[in-house]
Structure 1
Amino acid sequence: MRDEPVKKIADTTPVAPKTAPTRAFATEPVRRDSAAALPFGRQNYTLMLAGIGVILAGFFIMSLDKEEFGFGFLGLTLGPLVVMGGFVLEFFAILARPKA
């Protein structure tokens, strides 16, 4: 017997067209608790602005020193202490829990 090549038959099953996946739309936006949505409260931002003001005041105090190269009391002692106090205030402003 002679081997005859196998004829391929075209697949005639209907193929559904591919569509983009759809997602369900919510009728109402999801509302979150306002205290949980924001990491900082009004008190935190107020303390942060006060800390920035204290830091700037410390640098201004350092610039007022009349000694050569800022080696007087204002440039070496008072100004840096005020700047450090501003950074401590910023630290507490970041770590303070917002009031609910």
Structure 2
Amino acid sequence: MGEQKRKEAARETEFIFGKKNYKWMLIGLGVIALGFILMSGGGSDDPNVFNPDIYSWRRIRLAPAVILIGFGIEVYAILLNPNAKK
């Protein structure tokens, strides 16, 4: 009888996150990856030559903002109720 109860409990096992949560998590990870891609580059091959492109608006302002937006999407995905009907 204990075996049957375990099988029933296994069938009724529910994941913490639903399909919507995972979809939003993947979107958030994509936005974070985009932010890191925007931040890359701007270095110099020669250590004796300074390249001012490292201080461009894209790397200093835009990329960190995109990364923070991605983290916000991740928080939303974690707090999203997967059972809510819309």
- The question of a shared fold, defined as TM-score above 0.5 by the shorter chain, is answered with yes
Q: Which residue of 30, 33, 45 corresponds with 1:53?
A: 30
Structure 1 match to 2:83: 99
Structure 2 match to 1:80: 64
Query: Which stretches in structure 2 are left out of the alignment for 5+ residues?
Result: 44-50
Structure 1 match to 2:74: 90
Structure 1 match to 2:8: 30
Q: How far did residue 43 of structure 1 move?
A: 0.4
- Taking a change above 3 Å as real, the CA distance of residues 33 and 77 of structure 1, as seen in their structure-2 partners, is same
**What is the number of residues matched between the two proteins?**
75
1:48-87 Cα offsets, whole Å, 9 max, x none, are 0000000000011111557637211011000010000000
| Greater length-normalized contact order (CA 8 Å, ≥ 6 residues apart) | 2
Q: How far did residue 38 of structure 1 move?
A: 1.1
Q: Percent identity?
A: 35
Q: How far did residue 95 of structure 1 move?
A: 0.4
Larger Rg: 1
Query: Which stretches in structure 1 are left out of the alignment for 5+ residues?
Result: 1-23
SS in 2 for 1:97: coil
* Contact map agreement 1:55 1:86 (CA 8 A) in 2: yes
1:11-55 Cα offsets, whole Å, 9 max, x none, are xxxxxxxxxxxxx53446224646xx2110000000000000000
Q: Which has the higher helix share?
A: 2
Q: Which residue of 19, 22, 25 corresponds with 1:42?
A: 19
**Letter matched to residue 28 of structure 2:** G
Q: Which residue of 52, 60, 68 corresponds with 1:68?
A: 52
